[in-house]
Structure 1
Amino acid sequence: MMGVTWSNEAGQRLTAGGKSLEYAAWGPKPADAPTLVLLHEGLGSVALWRDFPQALVDATGFGVLAYSRAGYGASDPVDLPRPLDYMTREAEQSLGDVLDAAGIEHAILLGHSDGATIATIYAGSVSDMRIRSLILLAPHFFTEPDGLAAIRSAGDAYANGGLKEKLAKYHDNVDVAFHGWHDVWTDPGFAAWNVGDSIDHLRIPVLAIQGRDDPYGTLAQIQEIETRIYSPLETAILDNCGHAPQSDQPHATLEAVREFCARLDRIEREIVQMA
């Protein structure tokens, strides 16, 4: 039973993982169409998806739900320092509550960066028949030296280069949002972080999209999926694209998502007709 108002108006709230989270919704309600559930990057929020949610509705005909995780946007803050396994905790302790609160019936988890990792952990560790597929934008499953160097550079930009002022437009507590991400990734103990085993347990179709010029992750992240996955996988490797395919190559990204969702929907309808 849907417990939220299906609207993209500002100020919408739901409760998950014991926190009050901001959310917004576009397009058909969960009872009327599949829902793309958006999980933002490590410095993201509902607002930072910009016009991507409506573009997804227009391209797929599906509904879209986006929410800011605790510590981001206008959602409740979190205590710092975050634990090094914060993405696993987010998957296991909060995402399911979001799906419950929103009345999600048939979901495609679409995650970007940290959000892609959280989506993979959830689908690989939680038995939830609502999750029909994953769309992963710039996913990461282990650390890479160049990516860690880019995060350290972001720390300098936050302290000295105006990044804090830019992010403050999108986060009520910008220091919590930034340091909750940056300080984990630059912690010496995080260098050995690896959640690749989540891929081993996926049994649903996956679309992975990666930019060739991503400073935070290389094609080794995509190769990790290709090596470990047992379920159907499609990949889109985009030229002239950095860490945000939805912004750097919006047309190519939307087209890949549209085709993937159309095939899934057609296959599921055929299965229903045959049953």
Structure 2
Amino acid sequence: MQNPALAAAAAAAVTPAASSFAELPAAASHGPLRIEYRWVNETAADAPIAVFLHEGLGSIAMWRDWPQTLCERLGMRGLVYSRPGYGLSTPRARDVKWPVHFMTDQARDILPALLNALAIDTRERKRMWVVGHSDGGSIALLYAALHPDELVGAVVIAPHVFVEDISVESIAQTKQLYETTDLRAKLGRYHADVDSAFYGWNDIWLNPAFRQWSITAELASIRQPLLAIQGHDDNYGTMAQIDTIAARVPQAQLVKLDACGHSPHRDAPGQLNDAIAAFVSSQRQ
């Protein structure tokens, strides 16, 4: 099976001219940040917002046109952004390591700060969906747990709620590919500082202290509708991830996709969009 990092690296090209930037003030978990973002269907001012949270090696560009396609299907506006360290956002300083709780920091501090900077008010947040993939799926779960009144629901795709051996093994393999093949050059098309993006993600996932990371306790705080999706052929995680979500979030619905790896929006976009559209439609009735 092709390594998902290689597949993702071949997916798109950075187009900086299409991006806008938001300035976030310093907070307890971070210094001042410049965040790259783009709107999808921006002129649909009265439509609900879907916020897209990318994977551990992702950025705006690496989503390709999937947010646009999904938002058109759902009749929503989309907010797509590159997290700090990725895309054209503020890079990670070379001597900085992400802490074990980095995803909690993203959900608790950075996403709300971005929403504030973009003047997305309480009324809009109460109609907002968060859609996250991989690490972004974990951040979406944490956002739903920490800010239960500031979204209407969440969709998480191949999320992580604890660390599995398969994840660590695949991430170690990706490091070898990054350092011995053209993967670094390919990823460099999507990140202003590719080493910032890669080693920020790779170092924390391979840190022995991260093996104890888990957000299973936080899942019980999720009150809003939740859809969790996983491919049967995912080599970054098993069905135990979304089965754990279902065990702790009674209202969660699961979708398990055949012939699909870690990135359903690339491997099975039709099935993925159908599942999300059906779920969102059911919550509107």
TM-score, normalised by the number of residues in structure 1: 0.90
Give the equivalent residue in structure 2 for 1:269. Answer: none
Question: CA deviation digits over 1:218-256, x for unaligned, max 9?
Answer: 0000111111113x2221100111100111000000111
Q: Cα offset for 1:31?
A: 4.3
Give the equivalent residue in structure 2 for 1:122. Answer: 143
Q: Cα offset for 1:57?
A: 2.0
How much is the aligned-residue C-alpha RMSD, in angstroms?
1.5
Q: Does residue 45 of structure 2 align to residue 37 of structure 1? A: no
Take 1:132 and 1:16, find their aligned partners in 2: how far apart are those partners?
Answer: 25
* Cα contact 2:86–2:192 (8 A) shared by 1: yes
Give the equivalent residue in structure 2 for 1:233. Answer: 252
Q: How does 1:195-210 map to 2 (within 5 A)?
A: 195-210=215-230
Give the equivalent residue in structure 1 for 2:169. Answer: 149
Give the equivalent residue in structure 1 for 2:35. Answer: 21
Take 2:57 and 2:83, find their aligned partners in 1: how far apart are those partners?
Answer: 10
Take 1:202 and 1:9, find their aligned partners in 2: how far apart are those partners?
Answer: 37
Letter in 1 for 2:69: A
Take 1:148 and 1:214, find their aligned partners in 2: how far apart are those partners?
Answer: 13
Q: Cα offset for 1:93?
A: 1.4
Structure 2 spans left out of the alignment, 5+ residues = 1-15, 26-31
Q: How does 1:41-190 map to 2 (within 5 A)?
A: 41-79=55-93, 80-104=96-120, 105=124, 106-127=127-148, 129-190=149-210
* Cα contact 2:246–2:253 (8 A) shared by 1: no
Q: Cα offset for 1:217?
A: 0.5
Give the equivalent residue in structure 2 for 1:218. Answer: 238
Q: Does residue 272 of structure 2 align to residue 264 of structure 1? A: no
Paired residues, number: 257
Q: Cα offset for 1:173?
A: 0.3
Runs of 4+ in 1 over 6 A off after TM superposition: none
Instruction: Describe the SS at the equivalent of 2:19.
Output: coil
* Cα contact 2:55–2:136 (8 A) shared by 1: yes
Take 1:88 and 1:186, find their aligned partners in 2: how far apart are those partners?
Answer: 18
Instruction: Describe the SS at the equivalent of 1:131.
Output: coil
Q: Cα offset for 1:29?
A: 5.2
Take 2:267 and 2:24, find their aligned partners in 1: how far apart are those partners?
Answer: 31
* Cα contact 2:246–2:254 (8 A) shared by 1: no
Take 1:224 and 1:208, find their aligned partners in 2: how far apart are those partners?
Answer: 10
Letter in 2 for 1:264: Q
% identical equivalent positions: 39
Instruction: Describe the SS at the equivalent of 1:110.
Output: strand
Letter in 2 for 1:23: Y
Question: CA deviation digits over 1:74-110, x for unaligned, max 9?
Answer: 0011232111211111111101012222333121000
Take 2:165 and 2:109, find their aligned partners in 1: how far apart are those partners?
Answer: 29
Take 1:25 and 1:246, find their aligned partners in 2: how far apart are those partners?
Answer: 19
Structure 1 spans left out of the alignment, 5+ residues = 1-7, 267-275
Question: CA deviation digits over 1:127-146, x for unaligned, max 9?
Answer: 5x231100000000110011
Question: CA deviation digits over 1:157-204, x for unaligned, max 9?
Answer: 000021111100000000010000000000111111111112110000
TM-score, normalised by the number of residues in structure 2: 0.87
